[in-house]
Structure 1
Amino acid sequence: MTSFEKFHPVLTAHLTLDWLTQAPVKSIDDLFSKESIKTAKAEKMPSEILDTVKNINHIMRLVMNGKELTWGMTDSSSQEFIGIISLRGFEPKSDTGSIELIIDKKHDDDLAEAVERALQFAHDHFDFRQITLTFNKVSAHTRSSLEQIGLEEPTENTFVANV
């Protein structure tokens, strides 16, 4: 099993992706009350700060046990916490993974950059054949952003990338 401990921070041109434990709990908790873009599995968010702390601890246990990779996203210039992105599909081992995310809607222009980096990361380090992103609903802007980086939408609100 690959140790995920070395997989942080991950950088893009404008973002730093690092463990959730590197972001202030208050910033993570505040994200859940903001208008945001979320994949379907990210729809259920904690409503209390203690639940946020429990959620962070649970996620980090999954990361340290090699079951998922989850990073907090920070704007590299302003140091503002803007979202969470996860790469899943390690348990049970599968050739199809998924990206789950929540990003502050006012940073929707950063969504494609974060997804593109997660796809490249999956390609460079793992044996996934495909990566999916599934939304309950998706805006025209998000759809356009994902299509511009090469994702296809074979069924409504589900996007697929071959890696």
Structure 2
Amino acid sequence: MTVRLRGHHLLCLLTFVGEGYTPSFTRNYHDVAGRLSAGEPIEIVEGPDDICAPMLGLAEAHCRNENIGCRDSRALAAVADLLGFPLGPGSVLILDDRRLQNLRGAFALGSVRAACDECEWSALCTRIARAGFAGAVVRGAPSTCFLKS
């Protein structure tokens, strides 16, 4: 199986510490984090993904807003630049420990955070990054160097 993720969730997963929109959202995110930490591949998708799933039935779900699609595009461009290969819908990668550390380092420096503009969670993510990502749930899988576009 693969974890289906939209672009900006590649950044959100870096600082997920167990907070979220609803209890079901948070439980689901913990499940997704466990799958990623175990080395399950990520498939980049457009629109709602495995993290969004618990929110899809709610009228106020932001995952279908046009501005979220723009956030996805900005995040994918920044992450692709950092990792050195193109990313878009259909791309598959494993978040191994080396990639996770590279992403967290760039996130802490602010170089991959253009997609975080106007995000309601940005201040929390900044605090987590400044604390060295203490309490972050996602752990890098053992290095395997796997990528398919």
TM-score by length of 1: 0.29
TM-score by length of 2: 0.31
Q: Relative contact order (alpha carbons < 8 A, sep ≥ 6): 1 or 2 greater?
A: 2
Which of the pair has more CA radius of gyration? 1
More helix by share: 2
